[in-house]
């Protein structure tokens, strides 16, 4: 019961806090802010009705005092340890928070992987921002000297910036007592949230987007291009967090205009809530109901890295999918068919593909399952495999529910994601407590193209009955 009370209070506090900032938000969230206001009223009413206890009232009053008297991060101060800020605003800040580890540090390996896996043109789009939380001055000096020696060229090119930050304001009421009484994991969570809050607060005006990484990460080659093309495809769509890894914390991309909200959100709830859980709560509060995660991952922990506090920071291992299983389905399309090429070729797991001429905006190809399926991953490939010709230039993949009679499609659809360079490879997540399964997958043409179009393959992975018991862990990461 006590845990439920805390969960309810945290939700209410989060909603009230974020509503304070919504007046500055972009137009895409205006409609949501209205519904959020109504939801806030419902939650406050529910708090008064069901949670009228001295403890809940005390915590709510503490929050109100914090919001009224302590503008979060207003008094933060920073020291420049190496490098200099970029002269022009970049596309992406790669933000790394590095702390002192009881064992070997992987920060230098992470930076090597990042720079060596990127081309010159990719590096021109980014700035790497490292926040060092190393209280030992001798060790801090050694780390800075190593960075200056190994990455001198990147420091001089304003691609690498190393800082140290501190919260100048006094801690909120009750924090000193809480710190003394906190557990080992709570103390680690608190330090992590403060460190990342300082990092994000500094990064607000450096770039358009922010990539969050830990200091123990191996990057896939050309990860910058992967992120760039994905951001371009999602540019006009609403999103809060795009995930380029199955790791619980690293590989997440944000709009920089959301960073001040997220940084303040971290500082409000410093104690026993894991940081990655707050990330999931944050995206829910800004109306992204499920994760948006791309496959395959482009960020991994080092193979020989062992998490030093595995009970505090559990490692989420990369899911191995194996081959797609494409359950029995019929395929419908309103696109022009050529000769004996049938739309089913796009769904058959073989070398055949479906081709059409002069696709126009609104054309579709829909896979209708014989029975609803618990789909966990979808991959759509268009265009020729080698030359990358005849791709769908503008299209999106939608998930369908409520099948119509006679296998004619579905009554309603929701967006999974747009095609990125003619392709899509995404995980499929379901809202908390949802029991719905997919009945359709629809590929929709968003812009006419006067050329040949190849829909090479639609691949589907489903969750079998043996995996059904673990579905709650797949709904939202890390038990949120």
Which of 20-34, 89-103, 230-244 reaches the highest mean pLDDT?
Answer: 230-244
Provide mean pLDDT across the span 169-180: 46
Give the pLDDT score at 103: 53
Q: For residue 293, count CB atoms less than 10 angstroms from its CB and return exposed for 0-12, middle for 13-18, buried for 19 or more.
A: buried
Over range 41-69, report the average pLDDT. Answer: 40
Residue ranges of the alpha helices (H) in 22-151?
A: 30-50, 54-69, 107-116, 120-123, 137-150
Closest by alpha carbon to 367, among 415, 407, 335? Answer: 407
What fold, for 77-301? Spore Coat Polysaccharide Biosynthesis Protein SpsA; Chain A (3.90.550)
Distance in Å from the first CA to the final CA of the chain: 17
Q: Which residues contact 468 (CB under 8 A, 6 or more apart)?
A: 374
The pTM for the full model equals 0.80
C-alpha–C-alpha distance, residues 480 and 475, integer Å: 9
* Fold exhibited by the domain 329-479: Jelly Rolls (2.60.120)
For residue 362, name the pLDDT band (cuts at 50, 70, 90): very high
pLDDT at 31 over 80: no
Q: Which residues neighbour 273 within 8 Å (Cβ) at sequence distance 6 or greater? A: 10, 189
Range 322-340 average pLDDT: 92
Q: What is the mean pLDDT of the chain?
A: 80
pLDDT at 236: 94
If you average pLDDT over residues 273-297, what whole number do you get?
Answer: 89
Share of the chain above pLDDT 90, in %: 52
């Amino acid at each position: 019961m006590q845990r439920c009370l805390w969960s309810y209070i945290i939700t209410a506090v989060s909603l009230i806090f974020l509503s304070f900032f919504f007046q500055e938000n972009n137009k895409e969230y205006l409609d949501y802010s209205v519904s959020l206001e109504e939801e806030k009223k419902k939650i406050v009413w529910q708090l008064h009705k069901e949670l009228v206890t001295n403890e809940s009232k005390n915590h709510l009053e503490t929050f109100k005092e914090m919001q009224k008297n302590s503008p979060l991060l207003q008094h933060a101060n920073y020291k420049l340890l190496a490098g200099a800020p970029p002269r022009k605003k970049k596309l992406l800040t790669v933000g790394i928070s590095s702390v002192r580890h009881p064992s070997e540090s992987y920060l230098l390996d992470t930076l090597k992987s990042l720079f060596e896996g990127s081309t010159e043109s990719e590096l021109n789009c980014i700035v790497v921002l490292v926040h060092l939380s190393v209280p030992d001055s001798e060790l801090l000096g050694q780390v800075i000297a190593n960075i200056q020696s190994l990455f001198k060229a990147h420091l001089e090119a304003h691609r690498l910036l190393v800082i140290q930050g501190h919260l100048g304001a006094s801690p909120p009421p009750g924090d000193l007592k809480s710190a003394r009484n906190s557990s080992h994991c709570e103390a680690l969570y608190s330090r992590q949230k403060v460190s990342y809050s300082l990092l994000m607060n500094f990064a607000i005006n450096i770039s358009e987007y922010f990539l969050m990484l830990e200091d123990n990460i191996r990057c896939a080659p050309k990860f910058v291009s992967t992120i760039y093309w994905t951001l371009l495809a999602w540019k006009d769509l609403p999103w809060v967090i795009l995930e380029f890894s199955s790791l619980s914390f690293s590989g997440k991309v944000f709009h920089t205009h959301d960073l001040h909200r997220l940084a303040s959100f971290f500082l409000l709830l410093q104690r026993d809530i894991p940081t990655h859980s707050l990330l999931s709560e944050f995206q829910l509060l800004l109306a992204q109901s499920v994760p948006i995660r791309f496959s395959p991952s482009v960020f991994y922990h080092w193979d020989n890295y062992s998490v030093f506090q595995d009970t505090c920071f559990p490692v989420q291992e990369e899911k191995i999918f194996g081959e797609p299983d494409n359950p029995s389905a019929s395929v419908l399309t309103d696109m022009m068919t050529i000769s004996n090429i049938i739309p089913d070729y796009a769904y058959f797991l073989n070398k055949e593909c479906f081709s059409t001429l002069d696709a126009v905006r609104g054309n579709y190809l829909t896979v209708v399952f014989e029975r609803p399926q618990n789909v966990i991953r979808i991959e759509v490939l268009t265009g020729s495999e080698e030359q990358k010709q005849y791709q769908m230039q503008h299209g999106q993949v939608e998930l369908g529910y409520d099948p119509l009679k006679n296998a004619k499609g579905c009554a309603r659809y929701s967006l999974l994601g747009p095609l990125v360079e003619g392709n899509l490879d995404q995980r499929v997540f379901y809202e908390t407590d949802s029991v719905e399964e997919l009945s359709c997958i629809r590929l929709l043409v968003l812009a006419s193209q006067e050329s040949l179009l190849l829909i090479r393959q639609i691949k589907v992975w489903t969750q079998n009955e043996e995996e059904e018991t673990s579905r709650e862990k797949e709904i939202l990461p890390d038990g949120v």
